[in-house]
């Protein structure tokens, strides 16, 4: 059970990483980041379940979710600002920014 969960944690992390490396759309990059975050959440809970410390792992996950929401909110604001400046969601367009 735990080994299977951890195998899927690895797979999810790989899918998110692949999205980050292969995508050019800024929103798609954030989606990749979110998939990696879900792999981390599943990993925390599986580890807690494995050791019988579910309370501890849940408190860590709740902290992690709060951090995740803040990161996504700020990243979305950055994406909208970049779109206002460049008129595109292509990450390569940010290379033209100066100052």
- 8 A C-beta contact, residue 15 and residue 35: yes
When asked if residue 5 is in the footprint of another protein (CB under 8 A), the reply is yes
Closest approach, Cβ 95 to another protein, in A, equals 14
Residue 57 burial (CB count, 10 A): 19
When asked if residue 94 is in the footprint of another protein (CB under 8 A), the reply is no
DSSP three-state, residue 90: strand
Partner residues linked to 90 by β-bridges: 25
CA distance 8 to 48: 16
User: Which of positions 24-83 make contact with another protein (CB under 8 A)?
Assistant: 24-25, 27-28, 30-32, 34-35, 38, 41-42, 45-46, 48-63, 65-74, 76-81, 83
CA distance 75 to 66: 14
Closest approach, Cβ 31 to another protein, in A, equals 5
Closest approach, Cβ 4 to another protein, in A, equals 7
Closest approach, Cβ 96 to another protein, in A, equals 15
Q: Which is nearer to another protein, 55 or 98 (CB)?
A: 55
């Amino acid at each position: 059970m735990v080994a299977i969960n951890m195998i899927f944690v690895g797979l999810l992390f790989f899918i998110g990483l692949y999205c980050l490396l292969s995508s050019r759309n800024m929103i798609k990059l954030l989606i990749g980041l979110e998939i990696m975050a879900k792999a981390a959440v599943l990993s925390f809970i599986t580890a807690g379940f494995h050791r019988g410390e579910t309370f501890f792992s849940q408190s860590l996950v709740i902290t992690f979710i709060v951090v995740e929401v803040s990161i996504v909110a700020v990243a979305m604001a950055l994406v909208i600002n970049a779109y206002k400046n460049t008129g595109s969601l292509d990450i390569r367009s940010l290379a033209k920014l100066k100052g």
